[in-house]
């Protein structure tokens, strides 16, 4: 595990969910697991209450991101900036959306200013954020918009969601949209742009010299020559052809039902799915505890546990911090270019 004196910035996430629990648990396990330093942008009172509720001894040290490296071994570094947040684990309707959003924005600003090497986001309740005026489907799109603004890009960024586990990496080409909208929003250009970003980031961030990408079909049997749907033939196959002409090692459209068994997984590095559940189901089935949600296509590194707020477990001590720990390790490795 590479060490760097610049820490990872961790967002508060949904305060009534398990984000605070898993971050506190990870900090407690820092020495046993050899974890790299991180700090949280969150309400210190919330964290203190949750630690008490969980029976964890976690001294909290308020400060700035620059203090985190020195502080981390003895206390959990916290950068405040949110209003006080009541500790109401499991209360799905607690309204804290604005604090959740400002924590994310603060962490991204920290990376932009060189105060953090990466952002690790804790799970959010998307519906709660919509109530607070959040207009993005999830972190992925919001982080793209924040990056465009802070890094002053002159054209829109395309942030790409990847779920990465030890045995499978997947990317959904369309993300948080209704299933009925998938055939409408799935275009050749979207697949091509996504494929380019995946190939580039697997090379540049993950150190794969020639990444192999497998592209799923949309329909059963990848359309069976157009008899079970035409998108595979008319949209996906032409996109694959363009990517191949650009020298990217890409195959497809491939029937998705036979793409995720152990032997098939040996034939590619990353599978591109046409919709969320097509690829997140196999990814989370294989590695729910240690899968990581990592956003490609950004000018900075963002990782996240692959799970959600798990309200039923918040404050009970039953949440597993493993995916948080995997996300922290990945953020540190990817945030240290050249460490691979
Ligand atoms: N990155 C993010 O911000 C994400 C946010 N969400 C949000 O989370 C909320 C709840 O979504 P769900 O579909 O219920 O998914 P979920 O991942 O919160 O829970 C699914 C199941 O897994 C269990 N689980 C989740 N994390 C666990 C952990 N660390 N240890 C042990 N068990 C764990 C839960 O108890 C539940 O049985 C929604 O509002 C959704 O939008 C969901 C996925 C990712
Ligand atoms: N299903 C994955 C998920 O909901 C995470 O989305 P995001 O908040 O990382 O965009």
pLDDT per position as a tens digit, 229-285? 999 999 999 999 999 999 999 999 999 999 999 999 999 999 999 999 999 999 999
What CATH number should be reported for the domain holding residue 284?
3.40.718.10
Q: How far apart are CA 12 and CA 14, in angstroms?
A: 7
* pLDDT at residue 155, as a whole number: 86
Residues 28 and 151 in one domain: yes
Give the model's confidence band at 187: pLDDT under 50 very low, under 70 low, under 90 confident, else very high. very high
* pLDDT at residue 322, as a whole number: 98
Q: Are 116 and 6 in contact (CB under 8 A)?
A: yes
Q: Average per-residue pLDDT in the chain?
A: 95
* Site to substitute for ligand 1 among 293, 307, 328, most atoms within 8 A of C-beta: 307
Alpha helix (H) residue ranges in the chain: 19-28, 30-33, 44-54, 68-71, 97-112, 126-131, 139-150, 182-185, 188-204, 231, 237-245, 262-265, 276-287, 322-334
Last residue of a domain, one of 253, 272, 289: 289
Quick one: CA dihedral 113, 119, 123, 125, positive or negative?
positive
* Domain that includes residue 269, residue range: 166-289
Q: How far apart are CA 187 and CA 251, in angstroms?
A: 17
Average pLDDT score over residue span 167-191: 97
Give the Å distance between the CA of 279 and the centre of ligand 2: 13
Q: Is the pLDDT of residue 295 over 60?
A: yes
Residues 279 and 303 in one domain: no
Residues 182 and 266 in one domain: yes
| Host H or E run for residue 43 | none
Query: Which residues sit opposite 76 in a β-bridge?
Result: 60
Residues 218 and 88 in one domain: no
How many Cβ atoms are within 10 Å of 309's Cβ, its own excluded?
Answer: 23
Q: How far apart are CA 18 and CA 298, in angstroms?
A: 26
Q: How far apart are CA 207 and CA 186, in angstroms?
A: 29
Give the Å distance between the CA of 7 and the centre of ligand 2: 23
Give every strand in the sheet of 38-41, ordered side by side: 60-62, 76-79, 38-41, 8-11, 118-120, 302-305, 292-296, 160-164, 169-172, 270-273, 212-216, 249-254
Residues 123 and 262 in one domain: no
* pLDDT at residue 81, as a whole number: 77
Q: How far apart are CA 186 and CA 194, in angstroms?
A: 11
User: What SS3 class is residue 170?
Assistant: strand
Q: Are 279 and 164 in contact (CB under 8 A)?
A: no
Residues 57 and 82 in one domain: yes
Among candidate residues 123, 61, 125, 65, the one with its CA nearest the CA of residue 97: 125
Q: How far apart are CA 273 and CA 303, in angstroms?
A: 20
* pLDDT at residue 339, as a whole number: 53
Residues 10 and 155 in one domain: yes
307 is in an annotated binding site: no
Q: Are 171 and 280 in contact (CB under 8 A)?
A: no
Last residue of a domain, one of 289, 314, 330: 289
Ligand 2, atom 6: closest residue by C-alpha: 138
| Host H or E run for residue 99 | helix 97-112
Q: How far apart are CA 212 and CA 264, in angstroms?
A: 12
Q: Are 155 and 263 in contact (CB under 8 A)?
A: no
Q: Is the pLDDT of residue 2 over 50?
A: no
Rg, C-alpha atoms of the chain: 20
User: Does the C-beta of 312 come closer than 6 Å to ligand 1?
Assistant: yes
* pLDDT at residue 337, as a whole number: 75
User: What SS3 class is residue 135?
Assistant: coil
176 is in an annotated binding site: yes
- Exposed/middle/buried for residue 93 (C-beta within 10 Å: 0-12, 13-18, 19+): exposed
How many Cβ atoms are within 10 Å of 148's Cβ, its own excluded?
Answer: 17
Residues 151 and 196 in one domain: no
Average pLDDT score over residue span 158-177: 97
Percent of the chain with pLDDT over 70: 98
* pLDDT at residue 14, as a whole number: 95
Ligand 1, atom 23: closest residue by C-alpha: 310
Residues 199 and 66 in one domain: no
Q: Is the pLDDT of residue 98 over 80?
A: yes
Give pLDDT tens digits for 102-112. Answer: 999 999 999 99
Average pLDDT score over residue span 130-138: 91
Overall number of domains in the chain? 2
User: Does the C-beta of 140 come closer than 6 Å to ligand 2?
Assistant: yes
**ipTM of model:** 0.97
Residues 84 and 227 in one domain: no
Alpha helix (H) residue ranges in 122-258: 126-131, 139-150, 182-185, 188-204, 231, 237-245
Q: How far apart are CA 64 and CA 231, in angstroms?
A: 51
Nearest ligand 1 atom to the CA of 293 is: 1
Give the model's confidence band at 4: pLDDT under 50 very low, under 70 low, under 90 confident, else very high. low
User: Does the C-beta of 293 come closer than 6 Å to ligand 2?
Assistant: yes
Residues 111 and 238 in one domain: no
* pLDDT at residue 1, as a whole number: 47
Give the model's confidence band at 299: pLDDT under 50 very low, under 70 low, under 90 confident, else very high. very high
Q: How far apart are CA 186 and CA 173, in angstroms?
A: 8
Quick one: CA dihedral 57, 62, 68, 70, positive or negative?
negative
Residues 127 and 182 in one domain: no
Query: Which residues sit opposite 271 in a β-bridge?
Result: 170, 214
């Amino acid at each position: 595990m590479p060490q760097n004196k610049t820490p990872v910035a961790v967002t508060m996430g949904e305060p009534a969910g398990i984000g605070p629990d898993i971050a506190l648990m990870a900090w407690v396990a820092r020495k046993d697991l050899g974890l790299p330093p991180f700090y949280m942008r969150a309400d210190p009172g919330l964290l203190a209450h949750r630690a008490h509720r969980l029976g964890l001894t976690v001294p909290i040290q308020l400060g700035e991101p620059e203090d985190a490296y020195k502080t981390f071994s003895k206390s959990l570094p916290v950068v405040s900036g949110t209003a006080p947040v009541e500790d109401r684990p499991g209360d799905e309707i607690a309204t804290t959306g604005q604090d959740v959003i400002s924590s994310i924005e603060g962490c991204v600003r920290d990376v932009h200013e060189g105060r953090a090497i990466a952002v690790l986001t804790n799970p959010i309740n998307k519906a709660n954020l919509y109530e607070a005026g959040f207009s993005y489907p999830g972190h992925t799109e919001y982080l793209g918009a924040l990056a465009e603004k802070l890094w002053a890009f002159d054209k829109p960024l395309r942030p790409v969601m990847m779920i990465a586990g030890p045995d499978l990496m997947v990317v959904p080409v369309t993300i948080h949209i209704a299933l009925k909208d998938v055939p409408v929003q799935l275009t050749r250009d979207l697949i091509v742009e996504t494929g380019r970003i995946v190939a580039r980031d697997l090379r540049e961030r993950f150190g794969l010299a020639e990444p192999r990408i497998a592209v799923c079909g949309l329909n059963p049997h990848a359309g069976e020559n157009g008899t079970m749907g035409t998108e595979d033939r008319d949209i996906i196959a032409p996109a694959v052809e363009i990517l191949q002409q650009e020298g990217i090692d890409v195959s497809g459209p491939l029937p998705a039902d036979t793409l995720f068994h152990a032997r098939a997984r040996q034939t590619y590095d990353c599978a591109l799915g046409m919709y969320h559940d097509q690829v997140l189901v196999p990814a989370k089935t294989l590695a729910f505890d240690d899968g990581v949600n990592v956003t490609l296509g950004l000018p900075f590194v963002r990782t996240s546990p692959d799970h959600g707020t798990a309200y039923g477990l918040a404050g009970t001590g039953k949440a597993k911090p493993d995916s948080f720990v995997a996300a922290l390790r990945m953020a540190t490795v990817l945030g240290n270019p050249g460490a691979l």
